Amino acid sequence: MSDIKKIKEEFLNKLSDKLDLSEINEIKSNLFGKNGLISSQFKMIGSVPDNEKKKFASDLNNVKDELQDLINSKIDELQNIEINKKLEKEKIDVTLPERNFIRGKIHPVSQTIDEISSIFSEIGFSVEEGPDVENEYNNFTALNTPDNHPARDMHDTFYLDEKKETLLRTHTSPVQIRTMMKDKPPFKIIAPGRTYRSDSDQTHSPMFHQVEGLHIDKDINMGHLKGCLNYFIKEFFEVEKIKMRFRPSHFPFTEPSAEVDIGYEIKDGKIKIGEGDQWLEILGCGMVHPNVLKNVKVDPTKFQGYAFGIGIDRLAMLKYGINDLRAFFDCDYRWLNHFGFDPLDVPTNYRGLSR
Ligand code: DAH
């Protein structure tokens, strides 16, 4: 019997056994792999005498086709069996009751951050970010905050090492430093984010949110600051006119410094912004201190500008009638369901800015 016939008989025999997919694949490579039996036969064609060449080649091709067809149909067969087994297991029972569908809500703080970013972006501010874990230099020293300043006290600040070199940022102001260190003036940015202080009661929580603002250019003065804040407060509370007052204050990183109050009254149990004669403090601000500019290598004789820091949680509480700050961080789904925002609802003054 010729070699080709022998190969055929032997493999027909082998293939008649009950085989699994990996065994068939092994046979396939024994036959048709680079050094497989069929492949080696093809390599021998050159040494077959001329008068037998034609027959040898045609026999070889026939056996090759036959075995290949057989192997492929076996593989198909086994794959089908496996697919059917899988389908059997994954059968969908359409009679089962549907699962409860809970749609998530946007947290009021996230919503407020989106609204604030959107309003400031309308007047040319871009959004910057900084890390929650900050170094002492960016958080205090570069911001002209002296060693003996009460903000540096352990009672106020969460230090992360004994040497007090790293800490959880106590305000978003270090983003001013980071922004000015990495770029050249002018700067016109806001920086919303989480901030931390060792404080906890109905109106203070150890983690809270601020948005920092910074505008540095050649001719920026307090009038610009006032105009910008006036515009922001009106847009944010969606009112035509507001009452706003600047109260002299002190921050080491601004000179002069001010705190801003807005006028409000309570009518029918609801807070009305822009009316009445009650005052509520909502932010700190001022003209950036020349020492801060010097610390970030900006020449204070050429550039100047304003900065502000707004408490985001306070604004969210005011706008959405939430009276306990702690609820923001309780992770109570029922609360979120009530005060949260539908992701598909577009708020009235939301202009589609995505963070
Ligand atoms: N960083 C201040 C705070 O947390 C708020 C603040 C005041 C920020 C004045 C400023 C500013 O940028 O100019 O109390």
- pLDDT tops 50 at residue 351: no
The protein residue with its alpha carbon nearest to ligand 1, atom 2, reads: 309
pLDDT at 57: 87
Q: How far apart are CA 324 and CA 22, in angstroms?
A: 65
pLDDT at 350: 45
CA torsion, points 170, 172, 174, 177, in degrees to nearest 10?
-170
Cβ(196) – ligand 1 distance below 6 Å: no
pTM exceeds 0.75, yes or no: no
- pLDDT tops 80 at residue 182: yes
pLDDT at 352: 44
**How large is the average pLDDT for residues 82-90?**
88
Cβ(311) – ligand 1 distance below 6 Å: no
The protein residue with its alpha carbon nearest to ligand 1, atom 5, reads: 309
pLDDT at 286: 98
**How large is the average pLDDT for residues 148-161?**
84
Distance between Cα 162 and ligand 1 center (Å): 26
Q: Sign of the CA dihedral 46, 47, 51, 55?
A: negative
- pLDDT tops 80 at residue 173: yes
- Segment 194-207, tens digit of pLDDT: 999 998 877 788 99
- 84-88, 222-226, 276-280: which is most confident: 222-226
Distance between Cα 327 and ligand 1 center (Å): 25
- pLDDT tops 90 at residue 287: yes
pLDDT at 346: 52
What does the DSSP assignment read for 231-256?
HHHHHHHT-S---EEEEEEEETTEEE
Q: List, in sequence order, every residue forming a beta bridge with 264; answer none if it has no partner.
A: 273, 278
- Segment 213-270, tens digit of pLDDT: 999 999 999 999 999 999 999 999 999 999 999 999 999 999 999 999 999 998 888 8
Q: How far apart are CA 200 and CA 36, in angstroms?
A: 77
Q: In the predicted model, what is the mean pLDDT of the chain?
A: 90
108-339 has CATH 1.10.10.10 classification: no
- pLDDT tops 60 at residue 82: yes
Contacts of 159 (CB under 8 A, 6+ apart): 166, 167
| pLDDT confidence band for 153 (50 / 70 / 90) | confident
Cβ(251) – ligand 1 distance below 6 Å: yes
Does residue 183 or residue 7 have the better pLDDT?
183
- pLDDT tops 80 at residue 353: no
- What are the domain boundaries of the chain? 3-89, 108-339
Cβ(284) – ligand 1 distance below 6 Å: yes
Pocket test for ligand 1, best of 253, 292, 312, 313 (most atoms within 8 A of CB): 253
**How large is the average pLDDT for residues 280-291?**
96
Distance between Cα 331 and ligand 1 center (Å): 28
